[in-house]
Amino acid sequence: MTCEETLILDGAAKSKEIYKEIKTEVEKLNKEEEVVPRLSIIFVGDNPASASYIKLQQKVCTKVGIDSKVVNLPKNISQEGLLAELDKINNDDSINGILIQLPLPAHIDDDKIIRKINPSKDLDSFHPYNIGELVIGGDAYIPCTPEGVMALLDKYKIGVKGKDVTIIGHSNIVGKPMALLLLNRNATVSVCHIDTKDTAKYTKKSDIVIVAAGVPNLITADMIKEGAVVIDVGINEVDGKIVGDVDFENVKKKAAAITPVPGGAGPMTIAMLLKDTVKSCKNMLNK
Ligand code: GUN
C-alpha cells in the first residue's frame, strides 16, 4: 500500500450529502405538516470552545431549515435552576430535540441532569433509557459522534462484520456506544483506555482503529497494521492548529483509509444531530 492509494475519508463532503437529504425532508415537513423541526441547545456558562461549536451547529441548522435556539444560562446557575430550565424544554411540545452542551460547570452533577432529560428528545443518548436501548440493539437515539462514524464507514462501504476493531477511549459519549454499535453489527471489538497496559498490542492486529482519546500523536505508524482503516475522532489544539489523535502523515502511508482532522469524523457528528432532530420531529407527529 502506497501513500497515493490511501483513501481519505472525506466527512466534510459526505456530511454535505446528508444535509441535502435532511433539507428535502424538512421542506416536506414544512409543506405537508406545516411544522418546522426545532432544536434547543442548553449552554451553561461561556466556554469558548463550546460557544464556537454551538455557533457552527446553528449555522448548519439554518442551512437545512431546522430552527435552533440556544438557552444560555449563567455559569453559577444552581443545580435546581438548571433542572427547572430543562423541565420547561422537556415539556415544550414545540421542541423536538435537546442538546445539553458539555462540559457543565464543576458544581453541577452531570449524572443528575442527564437522568432528567426527556428520553424522547435526548439526541445525545445521554439518558440511561436510550443507552440501554442501544445495548439491546433497539431503535433509540445514538450518540451523534459514534453514529457519524458508522455513517461515514457506510458511505464508503467499509463493512465491519467479522472485522477486528480497536477503539481507544471508553467515554460514555464516544468509546462505549461506538463499541456497542460495532458489536451490534458483529465486529470483534477491543476497547483500550488510559489504564490499558499495551494499546499497540491491540491496534497492531486490528482491521479498523477508532481513536477518541484527546491526545495528539497518540497513534503512530508502528502501531497500525498495513492496510488498516483509521478513524480519528480526536480534536486537539496544538500551536493554534486543530489536530486529531493520529500522526496523520505517517499513518496515512500505511493505512488503506484514514480520516483527516478537521474534515473527517467531526462534520458527520453535526450531520447526525440534524438527522436525529428531524427523526424526533417525525416521531412526535407519529410519522
Ligand atoms: N461536548 C463535547 N462533545 C459533546 C457531545 O457530543 N454532546 C454534547 N452535548 N456536548 C458535547
Average pLDDT of adjacent 10-residue blocks, the chain of 287 residues: 78 98 98 98 96 96 98 98 98 98 97 97 97 95 98 98 98 98 98 98 98 98 98 96 97 98 97 98 89
- Confidence (pLDDT) at 286: 84
Ligand 1 contact via 57 beta carbon (within 6 Å)? no
Sheet strand arrangement including 38-44: 67-73, 38-44, 97-100
In the chain, domain spans: 33-120, 144-266
Ligand 1 contact via 51 beta carbon (within 6 Å)? no
Q: Which residue has the cell 467531526?
A: 266
144-266 to CATH, choices 3.40.50.720, 3.30.470.20, 3.90.550.10, 1.10.287.3510: 3.40.50.720
pTM for the full predicted model: 0.96
Which residue minimizes the CA distance to atom 2 of ligand 1? 102
Measuring CA to CA, how many Å separate 124 from each of 67, 100, 208, 241, 247? 18, 8, 24, 27, 29
Q: Which atom of ligand 1 is nearest to the CA of 99?
A: 9
Can you say how many angstroms the Cα of residue 220 is from the centroid of all Cα atoms in its chain? 23
Nearest to 64 by CA among 286, 272, 226: 272
Q: How far apart are CA 252 and CA 6, in angstroms?
A: 7
Please give the biggest Cα pair distance in the chain. 57
Q: Architecture of 33-120 per CATH?
A: 3-Layer(aba) Sandwich (3.40)
Ligand 1 contact via 144 beta carbon (within 6 Å)? yes
